[in-house]
Structures are given as structure tokens and as C-alpha cells.
A and B are shown apart, each in its own frame.
Chain A
Amino acid sequence: MDYTNQKHPQNYSQMEDLKTLDLEESVSETIMRDLRMIAYKLKYVLIPKEQEDNGKELRNWDLWGPLIFCLALAMTLSFKADSTTTSSKSDVFAIIFVLIWVGAFVVTLNAQLLGGKVSFFQSVCLLGYCVFPINIEAIIIAFIGSYLPFVVKLIPVIICFAWSAYSSVGFMASLVPPHKKKLAVYPVFLFYLFLSWFSLIV
């Protein structure tokens, strides 16, 4: 293939430009484009105040973020599990991994069945990205948890759980008809509550 085609400007924030990308862009451009998308979504999730444009860019869903955070959380918790309880490393790892993906799948299915018109993968993507705060608190607790009493450990857990839930509820609630909002949002709470509680007791 000839690589002499001129490169189109890579303004990734516009859907139209995605269509004009040559089939012949270079590898580094592809990588940078994907990395920028991940960074944008992460910022969107971590800083709820910045959700002005209603996540137009969120429509370019990708599952890399959820995969990374899921693996990180599972690794952190299974690493910690070895030293404290009797459950084996791989059990904890498997539970977390399967739970995150199946949980995201079920929550999305629930939103779809309630009449919300949402792309399946976009919703899974957002739920996966919102796991990041729980990741943070799992790491905090893993490092300094053994020196702190239980009540003090509870504080970061509650903060991060609220953070995750708040970030994702905005999106989920906008998907379904108004009178079914609570029905759609309740599984999301449950999902993050379980993850936070699991990271606390392991």
C-alpha cells in the first residue's frame, strides 16, 4: 500500500472526522488517538463537575479502561488476600474479574429492559471507568490498611463509593424514562457498594 496519502487532521473530538481517517494512518497515530480517548473518559469520570457537553465524546466507547481497572482492582485485592485471610489468591481474583464484567452486563441489561435506549457497550464502558475510584481506595487500604482501625478505613471507602456512584448515576439516570430512574439507578449503587465492601473486608 502506498503511504504517501496526506494525513487528515486528527481532531478526535468530532465524529465526522473519524470517518475521513484514511485506511492508511500510521501506527503511532492510532495509538495516540486511543490514548487520548481513554484520558478524556477518565477525566470525565473523575471530575463530575466537568460533565458539561453531556459526554458527547463518551459515544466513542472503548473497553480498555474497564479492562485495566478491572485487572488492577483484581490484582490489588488478590495480592492483599494472601497475607490476611485463608481464601486463595486466584479465588479472589476470579471473583472480582467475573463480578465486574457480569455486574456491568447485568446493570446495562437492566437499563435496557427498563426502556432505556442505550448502546450496550457504551454503558459497560462507563460503568467500567467509574470503577476507578474504588481502585484508588483499594490501593490506599492495601498499603496502610493494616495499621488503621476499622472505622478509619471506612472513610476512604465511603468517599470513593459515593464518588463512583455519583459519576455513573448521572449517565444512567438520563437513559431511562423519569418514573423509572430509581429502578435503573439502584443496581448501580448495589454494584459499587459490593465492590467497595469487598475491597474493605478482603
Chain B
Amino acid sequence: MQIADEQQDVQHSIPDLDNVNIKLGDDQKKVNQNSSNTVSQVQQPEQVAIQIQSLPPKTQDASFVSQLFHCLFKGLAIFVFFIPEGLLNLTYCFIIVVILSAIDFWTVKNITGRKLVGLRWWSEVKEDGSEEWIYESQVANFVPNPFNSNIFWFAQFGVVLTWGILILLDLIGLRWFNAVLAMTAFCLTGINFVGFYKCRGEHQKKAKEYMTKIGLKAIQQW
């Protein structure tokens, strides 16, 4: 009886751990999580109680296609920025860099953010008109592939830094047109960087809570 009670208790708490997202009030996702957990619950009850408590880390393979796309548009944008004026009319350069930066923004925000590091952020406008920013991450036991996550963070931060330096150089050199362009690109990449950084903060908080709960459960078991 005691074990059964404990099992029940653990069953309810695992979905909670997995759903420490802000504003997640849907049962469907909990059902999904339950279905992936129940596979391990088919075995003997005593062992199950111990197994469930620390889920194996959810890992992923290094995804080269995502990494390539993550870096591709950023690199192209910077490359086109440096093409000298004689070869490429400033106007076309501006258009191409802005379009590339926009495509890069969309790719990182919607695709490579999810696939490489399992994070997502967006904003919702509520009924009364106020805006709310939402940061979402994968389950607490998710461990991103180190290769993936390194490329993601280095590329994003590197690009933000590069555009920042280019803004300074253009302002000092009094090239206003290029400076405006660099500022636009800086804003786009910077916003993505800040959004994902905040997401990562959320995920680390989630993982810490998860670890604490496991620790507490382990102590309770004694």
C-alpha cells in the first residue's frame, strides 16, 4: 500500500516537473509526457518507484543541417556587408543584408533555436492590450548536445559582437548609411540573443528545481 501511494505521488509529480512552463494550462501536453513515462511503469512496482525518480537525461544527436543553416545566413550577411561599394551599389547591399538578417532572425528563432538547444520564446498580447513575453524550454532532464549548443551560442554571440564593432567603426568613419545598416542587423541578432538567453535562464531554473525534487525524494525514501 505504501509503495502504491508513493507511486501515485510520484506519478503526479513527474508531469509537474515537466511542465514548469509559464502559462501552460493544457492537459494534452501532460498526456504526452505521461505516455512517455508510462512505458517504464510497466515493470515491477518497487523498481519503478526508484526508476521514475531520476529520468535518464534526454539527449540529442548533433544536427549538422541545423548548424549549417544557423551560421549560413549570418555569415552571408556579414560577407555582403563587406563587399566594396564599387562592386555593389549601396542600395542593393542594404536590401540584401536586411533580407538576409531577417531570414536569419526567423530561422534562429523558429527552427534552430528549437532543434539545437530546445528553447523557444515569443510574445502574446492579452485581452486588455498588454504584452507578455513567454519563454519555453524542453523538459527538465533535457541535455542539449554540447556540439550543437556550442555552435549555437558562439555563433549568435559572435555575430552580435561583430555587428556591434561594425557600428562603432562606421560611426567613427562617418559612414552613416553603413552604420544604419549595421544597427538594423545588430538589433535583429541582438533581440534573438537576449530572447534565447532568457529562455536558457528559465531552463536552468527548471533543471535546478528538478534536481531539488529528486534530492528531496531520495531523502524521503530513506
Contacts and interface: CB of A to CB of B under 8 A. Distances in A.
B129 A119 contact: yes
B123 interface: yes
Nearest to B21: A19
22 contacts: A1-B118, A5-B32, A15-B124, A18-B122, A18-B124, A19-B25, A23-B118, A23-B120, A23-B136, A23-B138, A30-B111, A59-B125, A60-B125, A67-B102, A71-B99, A89-B89, A90-B91, A94-B94, A98-B180, A117-B128, A117-B130, A121-B131
Nearest to B114: A23
Give chain B's interface residue range (CB within 8 Å of chain A): 35 or more
Give chain A's interface residue range (CB within 8 Å of chain B): 35 or more
Contacts of A64: 102, 106
Contact of B125 (A8, A94, A119): A119
A158 to B, nearest CB: 29
Interface in A1-37: 1, 5-6, 8, 15-16, 18-20, 23-24, 27, 30, 34
Contacts of B123: 119, 121
Interface of B: 23-26, 28-29, 32, 60, 89-91, 94-95, 98-99, 102, 106, 110-111, 114-115, 118, 120, 122-125, 128-131, 136-138, 177, 180
Interface in A65-102: 67, 71, 75, 78, 89-90, 93-94, 97-98
Contact of A90 (B25, B60, B137, B177): B177
A90 B115 CA distance: 39
A175 B129 contact: yes
A63 B14 CA distance: 38
Given A5-B32, A90-B90, A90-B177, A71 B98 contact: yes
